[in-house]
């Protein structure tokens, strides 16, 4: 990365975004599908099925969540789905397209959500598959294991002063304060 990238922008997903969202979903499963011996048609059928099941599941079980497209310099760069509840801010999905990874987009968005969580005195949480490479980023940014659920783990980042810690020190200082990311609060 050569210099600071502009802050990512968010806008609500629209039906016109579906082809991009499908490609994004497919790239988010690359690390898993690399281990199967299926041909391209089998992988595509699997991805189509899983993409649709995920969309139905998210809207059924996370009513009230905001489904946003991440834009970087006006280009579709990823998606962020967040459910703000009275007791926590839950990241339902955060995915950044491969060509935008490593530019600090995910870190900036997580930082902005951590700032919001701290200001509203709520934990910031998310589920991630145990072996998903993104888990390293979350842990580097101060998320800690809260619960194991089959192939998934619930990670939480607590706000300083919450009185809830899983170890002697909150890692609050590890995440930079974000720069001017506007979240939709529809």
Q: What is the pLDDT of residue 162?
A: 58
Which pTM does this prediction carry? 0.81
Sequential DSSP letters for 65-98: -EEEEEEETTEEEEEEEEEE-SS-EEEEEEEE-G
Give yes or no for residue 3 having a pLDDT over 70.
no
Cα diameter, the chain: 52
Q: Which CATH class is domain 9-174?
A: alpha beta
Structure confidence at residue 28 (pLDDT):
87
Distance CA 115, CA 153 (A): 23
CA distances from 43 to 52, 90, 140 (A): 14, 30, 32
**Model pLDDT for residues 133-161, shown as the tens digit of each residue:** 889 999 999 999 999 999 999 999 987 66
CA torsion angle for 113, 171, 32, 5 (degrees, to 10)? 50
Secondary structure, 3-state, 28-71: HCHHHHCCCCCCHHHHHHHHHHHHHHHHHHHHHHCCCCEEEEEE
Q: Which of 57-61, 118-122, 160-164, 167-171 has the lowest mean pLDDT?
A: 167-171
Q: Is 155 helix (H, G, I), strand (E, B) or coil?
A: strand
């Amino acid at each position: 990365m050569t210099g600071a990238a502009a802050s990512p922008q968010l806008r609500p997903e629209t039906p016109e975004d579906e082809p991009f969202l499908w490609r994004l979903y497919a790239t988010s499963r690359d690390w898993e599908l690399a281990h199967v011996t299926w041909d391209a048609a089998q992988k595509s059928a699997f991805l189509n099925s899983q993409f649709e099941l995920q969309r139905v599941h998210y809207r059924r079980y996370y009513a009230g969540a905001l489904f946003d497209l991440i834009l970087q310099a006006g280009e579709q760069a990823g998606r962020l789905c967040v459910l703000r509840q009275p007791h926590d801010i839950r990241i339902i999905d955060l995915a950044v397209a491969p060509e935008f990874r490593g530019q600090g987009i995910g870190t900036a968005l997580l930082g902005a959500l951590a700032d919001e969580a701290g200001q509203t005195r709520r934990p910031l949480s998310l589920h991630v598959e145990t072996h998903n490479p993104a888990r390293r980023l979350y842990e580097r940014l101060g998320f800690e294991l809260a619960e194991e659920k089959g192939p998934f783990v619930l990670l939480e980042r607590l706000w300083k002063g919450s009185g809830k810690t899983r170890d002697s020190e909150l890692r609050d200082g590890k995440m930079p304060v974000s720069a001017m990311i506007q979240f939709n609060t529809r």
